[in-house]
Amino acid sequence: MIYWRLFLASVWLANGLFAKILNLVPRHQEIVARISGSEHAFLFTKLIGVGEILMALWILTVIKPRFCAAVQIGLILIMNGIEFYLASDLLLWGKFNLLFAFLFVTLIAWKEF
């Protein structure tokens, strides 16, 4: 089970730290700008990145793991749903991103519940 948690935490950490905080994937800030407007996109992208890093730490603490999984599932579905409708042209796999999101949340649900 520890490998599962390390894998899951690494997904959140990579997206938060590398893609958003360090801006190694600039399209993440473009997606945020499309959704929230460009005025605050830099700040919002960094805040989302911090939130994703905190999610990785929560996963590793194994505190309330089912609640943690439910929060992850909700966030992933909400974020990907908004991106699907407002910024699908900026997503790595376009509208297929939603399919990968559903597969990922299904995996989280299967492993945690």
Whether the predicted pLDDT of 1 surpasses 90 = no
Using a 10 angstrom Cβ sphere, with 0-12 exposed, 13-18 middle and 19 or more buried, the burial of residue 48 is: buried
pLDDT score at 68: 98
Residue with tokens 């949340």: 105
Whether the predicted pLDDT of 2 surpasses 90 = no
> Is the full-model pTM beyond 0.85?
yes
- Mean pLDDT, residues 63-73: 98
Neighbouring residues of 35: CB distance < 8 A, sequence distance ≥ 6: 82, 83, 86, 87
Confidence of residue 43 (pLDDT cuts 50, 70, 90): very high
Within 10 angstroms of residue 11's Cβ, the number of other Cβ atoms is: 16
> What DSSP element (H or E) covers 102?
helix 97-112
Q: Torsions phi, psi of 39, nearest 5? A: -60, -40
| 4-36 tens-digit pLDDT | 999 999 999 999 999 999 999 999 999 999 999
